[in-house]
Amino acid sequence: MRFNRLRLSNFKPYGDADVELTDGVTVIHGLNGSGKSSLLEACFFALYGSKALPGTLDDVISNSEEEAAVELWFTHEGVDYHIERQLRRSGDRVSTRKCVLEGDDGSGEPISRDGARAVRDFVTELLRMDAEAFVNCAYVRQGEVNKLINASPSQRQDMIDDLLQLGTLETYRDRAGEARLAVTDLLQNARGSLETVDEQIEAKEAEDLHATLNELETKRDEVDDEIENYEAQREKATETLEDAESVLDEYEEQQAEIEELEDEIEELETEISETEAERDDLGDQRREAIEERDDLETDLDANSPRPTSPRRPPRPSPTAAKH
Per the CB < 8 A criterion, the answer to whether 48 and 120 are in contact is: yes
The more confidently predicted of residues 13 and 176 is 13
Give CA–CA dist 304/301, Å, rounded.
Answer: 6
From residue 123, alpha-carbon distances to 96, 100, 116, 127 in Å are 17, 12, 11, 6
* Cα angle, residue 193 at apex, residues 192 and 198 outer, rounded to 5°: 100
Would you say residue 83 has pLDDT above 80?
A: yes
- How buried is 248 (Cβ within 10 angstroms: 0-12 exposed, 13-18 middle, 19+ buried)? exposed
pTM: 0.48
- Of 49-63, 74-88, 177-191, the one with minimum mean pLDDT is 177-191
Would you say residue 89 has pLDDT above 60?
A: yes
**What is the percentage of the chain residues whose pLDDT exceeds 70?**
83
Q: What is the pLDDT of residues 112-159, one digit of tens each?
A: 999 999 999 999 999 998 888 888 777 666 555 555 566 677 766 666
| Dihedral of alpha carbons 300, 305, 310, 311, sign | negative
Which residue from 124, 134, 120 is spatially nearest to 40, judged by alpha carbons?
A: 134
Give CA–CA dist 70/53, Å, rounded.
Answer: 13
Per the CB < 8 A criterion, the answer to whether 42 and 61 are in contact is: no
Give CA–CA dist 304/238, Å, rounded.
Answer: 97
153-164 vs 166-206: helix axis angle to the nearest 10?
60
**What does the pLDDT average to over 64-81?**
93
Q: What is the pLDDT of residues 27-65, one digit of tens each?
A: 888 888 788 888 989 999 999 998 888 888 888 898 888
Would you say residue 319 has pLDDT above 60?
A: no
CATH superfamily of this structure's domain 2-140 = P-loop containing nucleotide triphosphate hydrolases (3.40.50.300)
Most confident of 43-47, 147-151, 181-185, 201-205: 43-47
Would you say residue 309 has pLDDT above 60?
A: no
